[in-house]
Copies of this chain bind each other. A is one copy, B any other.
Amino acid sequence: MGFYSLRRGPDKYEISLPAFIIKICGGMPMPVSPTFFPGFKNRPLLKSVQVAAPEQPFRLTTGGQLSEVTVAYETYGTLSPEKNNVILVVHALTGDSHPAAHNEQDEEGWWDLLVGPGRPLDSERFFIICSNVLGGCQGTTGPASPDPATGQPYGMQFPAITVRDMVNVQKALLEQLGINHLALVIGGSMGGMQALEWAVSYPGFADAVVAIAAPGYASPQSIAYNRVGRQAVMLDPDWQQGNYYGGPGPARGLSIARAVGMITYQSEQSMTNKFARKMRDGQFEVENYLDHQGQRLAERFDANSYLYLLRALDLYDLGHGYASYKAALARIEARVLVVGVTSDILYPAQQQIELVQTLKSLGVRAEYAEVDSPHGHDGFLIDFDLLRPILTDFIATVTPVRFPGFPAAFRATRMAYFGARLLPENYP
């Protein structure tokens, strides 16, 4: 599963490969960050850049700093000569830099039906960038990365991070890529929070942001769910105060944490539709499902990353550091689309409605759209048929065609192609 193995030394873990693996990206060799997390998936088209170094550390909003930050990212489409066709896609809690397959051989992404040629985030029109978040475990610096001071994994020595730090790292990535303007930032859940933070932190940088199933700040209920998840991970004897690298790791605790997540991502209705009271192997099917989801997450996600990212969700508050919540929102210059899912129990639609009302009252160009679905919070990863027209319309409005070389007939063809693809792509 991992791209290199770990050996337990007498008193420390050792990485068995040279510190940096050289990948070829766009003709340029790019380093991929080392990590002690064996579930790291080094995708064929993963690229990375270093956005902080000991002589230029990355300052965190909580006061700490990181003397090295590597960002892993993927891109789709081509950057226009004017560099005015960039869309930043930002991922949710356990997502990564891979929203879509790059080609037919490539693995499916978490937003495959929305990203690609002829899709709402059209890689034939836009240059789409998606990076793994700070604190993550899929290539960007996080708790499983080696602490430059010791060469050992940070573990719980990793500093507390916030959604704003994630955004600042993305900003640093764009600077390295020579991009100083975004047509759009878009994401769901924690991705939606990042999109909104972008709008507040860097007014004028993005023309538009789309935040799906994301509020303006984390509610105490969502903090409570996250606390349960974190406590479960830390209760696992295999967690070892975060120093589990090279050992089995807190798979059972992480599985419980994931179960909490999976419940809050769905709805009473969707779980009833899926599982009813069916039993198998002496358990309810819903229990088998949670076990399975938990095991899967433990294989692909670092438990310490999970702890840090949950905390970042808790700390998320657009108003933090500003005179007031409204003062923060009033900074926004981008056009804002907020999308709620009717059955979302984690970040209920009402929170998004209130956000849009507040934005409008402040003169921000904001609009609200609702996905009427029983799928709960996960609707943003499931209800593509409902999201597609909402996103297509919004993107068409905020990013008028700006490519003089783009013949209208070709666009019409694309639309026809897009229409033709709608049927087979229908979510069952």
| CB nearest neighbor in B for A255 | B231
* Set of chain B residues within 8 Å of A266, measured between Cβ atoms: 221
Interface bin, chain A: 35 or more
Known: A225-B263, A259-B227, A260-B260. A235 touches B220 (CB 8 A): no
Interface membership of A217, Cβ < 8 A: yes
What sequence of 0s and 1s flags, for each residue 74-86 of chain A, a beta carbon within 8 Å of any chain B beta carbon? 0000000000000
* A228/B259 in contact, CB under 8 A: yes
Contact of A252 with B by CB under 8 A: yes
Q: How far is the CA of A274 from the CA of B224 in the complex (A)?
A: 13
Q: How far is the CA of A262 from the CA of B228 in the complex (A)?
A: 11
Q: Taking the full assembly, how many copies of this chain does it contain?
A: 2
**CB of A330 within 8 A of chain B?**
no
Stretch at the interface among A46-54, A136-144, A283-291, A407-415: A283-291
CB closest chain-B residue, reference A228: B259
**In the bound complex, CA of A232 to CA of B317 (Å):** 29
How far is B237's CA from A253's CA once the two chains are assembled, in angstroms?
12
Are A263's CB and B314's CB within 8 A? no
| A348 at interface by CB-CB < 8 Å | yes
Nearest CB to that of A274 among chain B residues? B220
Contact assessment for A256 and B228 in the assembled complex, using a CB-CB cutoff below 8 Å? yes
A276 cross-chain contacts in B, Cβ below 8 A = 220
- Check B253 against A290 for contact (C-beta < 8 Å): no
Q: List 18 A-B contacts (CB under 8 A).
A: A218-B277, A219-B272, A220-B271, A220-B276, A220-B277, A220-B286, A221-B266, A221-B268, A223-B277, A224-B286, A224-B290, A227-B259, A228-B263, A231-B252, A231-B256, A232-B235, A235-B252, A235-B256
Q: Within the assembled complex, what's the spacing in Å between the Cα atoms of A290 and B259? A: 19
Across-interface contacts of A427 in B (CB, < 8 A): none
The 8 tightest CB contacts between A and B, nearest first, are: A220-B286, A220-B275, A220-B271, A221-B268, A221-B271, A224-B263, A231-B256, A228-B259
Do the beta carbons of A272 and B227 come within 8 Å of each other? Answer: no
As a 0/1 sequence over residues 20 to 60 of chain A, the CB contacts with chain B under 8 angstroms (1 = contact) are 00000000000000000000000000000000000000000
Answer whether A235 and B219 are a contact pair too, CB < 8 Å, given A224-B259, A260-B228. Answer: no
Q: A253-B235, A277-B217 are in contact. Are A223 and B259 (CB under 8 A)?
A: no
> Judging by beta carbons under 8 Å apart, are A284 and B220 in contact?
yes
A66 within 8 A of B: no
The residues of B that contact A284 with a CB separation of less than 8 Å are 220, 223, 314
Measured in the bound complex, the distance between the Cα atoms of B210 and A351 in whole Å is 35
